Chains A and B, each alone.
Chain A
Amino acid sequence: MSKEDSEREPSWKSDFPIETRRGTHVSRREFAKFLGLLSGAFALSNGFIVIKAIAFPAEKLEGEHFVVDEAEVAIGEMFQFEIHGEKKIPYILIHLEENEWRAFEQKCTHLTCAVRYRKDENKIECPCHNGWFSADTGAVLQGPPPRPLPRLDVVVRDGKVYVKEQSEDQNV
């Protein structure tokens, strides 16, 4: 091979005349355009939430569902159960006092960890991020959860415990 050949520019360089530095460099113009696109994407996702909320509202639980016999859950105890519908949703049933029952969804409203009733504190605890809910209303008492736990009404009839969708007047 002659010396001239080695000094001549290789042919691939003339075929692809883009330098690596130019290929990887993001100019401020490009960055500004990217921010514009990002902004559009956020607006679209916000619109998607509106469409989803209007077109596909959360389905309500229909009718009463038998959970357990009253005698099986002592006062201060918690009972876990699931309701199978379109989705399988876990719930907890809490026997607070005599004739005082509560049923809440077991998924924490923060990151859907399983919550549990703490008898010693008389509160519901989410052990993942130290979130606490009221055992009486399901309201957030402390920690990162943004919303109260979804609640069901409890009906006790003939020694059997049933749950049903919470009535509207109690929902406020």
Chain B
Amino acid sequence: MSDFRTSQNEAHPNKTNTIMTGIILLQILFVSIQVWFLFGALNNALEGNIFFALTTFVGSLFMAIGSFWVLRYLPEPLKKKPDKRPRVNVSRQP
């Protein structure tokens, strides 16, 4: 019998792949912006501009929370269906 999940999976066979790629691309975007923030904060803190370091920290924290949050939507790993075919032991010695 076919249920909703099965029919949806059959209608969109690439769904898991698309979600996974989307999550990874989003995380790479977050991490890149964080690297940029960190570099800016280092230089500005050395110059005595603490406000910039504080602002980038808040932004970076939000991005880290976002990176963790998108992990909720990671697709479950594909489970192998049990092989129901009858197994035949092939003799190696003809």
The A interface, classified by DSSP as helix, strand, loop or mixed, is helix
For B28, the chain A residues whose CB sits under 8 A away are 35
Which residues of A from 29 to 65 have beta carbons under 8 Å from B? 29, 31-33, 35-36, 38-40, 42-43, 45-47, 49-50, 52-54, 57-58
- Residues on B with C-beta less than 8 A from A146 are 43
* B91 CB, min distance to chain A CBs, angstroms: 12
Chain A neighbourhood of B47, CB < 8 A: 147
Q: Which B residues are in CB contact (< 8 Å) with A170?
A: none
A22 at the interface (CB under 8 A from B): no
CA distance A31 to B77 in the complex (A): 13
Cβ contact of B30, chosen from A29, A39, A52, cutoff 8 A: A39
B74 near A32: Cβ-Cβ < 8 Å: yes
Cβ of B11 < 8 Å from any Cβ of A? no
Q: For B61, what are the chain A residues with a Cβ–Cβ distance below 8 Å?
A: 43, 46-47
Which of chain B's residues have a CB closer than 8 A to the CB of A49? 38, 41-42, 45, 53, 57
Q: Are A32 and B34 in contact (CB under 8 A)?
A: no
Number of cross-chain contacts by CB at 8 Å: 90
Contacts of B42 in A (CB 8 A): 49
Chain B: how many interface residues by the 8 Å CB criterion?
A: 35
Contact indicator per residue, chain A 132-155, by CB within 8 Å of chain B (1) or not (0)? 000000000000001100000000
Contacts of A38 in B (CB 8 A): 31
CB contacts (< 8 Å) of B67 on chain A: these are 35-36, 39-40
A residues apposed to B, CB below 8 Å: 27-29, 31-33, 35-36, 38-40, 42-43, 45-47, 49-50, 52-54, 57-58, 146-147
Nearest 9 Cβ contacts at the A-B interface: A39-B67, A43-B64, A42-B34, A35-B27, A53-B45, A46-B60, A46-B57, A43-B60, A39-B64
Known contacts A33-B71, A43-B63; 6 further A-B pairs (Cβ under 8 A): A29-B74, A29-B77, A31-B24, A43-B60, A50-B54, A147-B43
29 pairs from A and B in contact (CB 8 Å cutoff): A29-B77, A32-B27, A32-B70, A32-B74, A36-B27, A36-B70, A36-B71, A39-B27, A39-B34, A39-B66, A39-B68, A42-B38, A42-B60, A46-B37, A46-B38, A46-B41, A46-B56, A46-B57, A49-B42, A49-B53, A49-B57, A50-B41, A52-B45, A53-B48, A53-B53, A54-B50, A57-B48, A146-B43, A147-B47
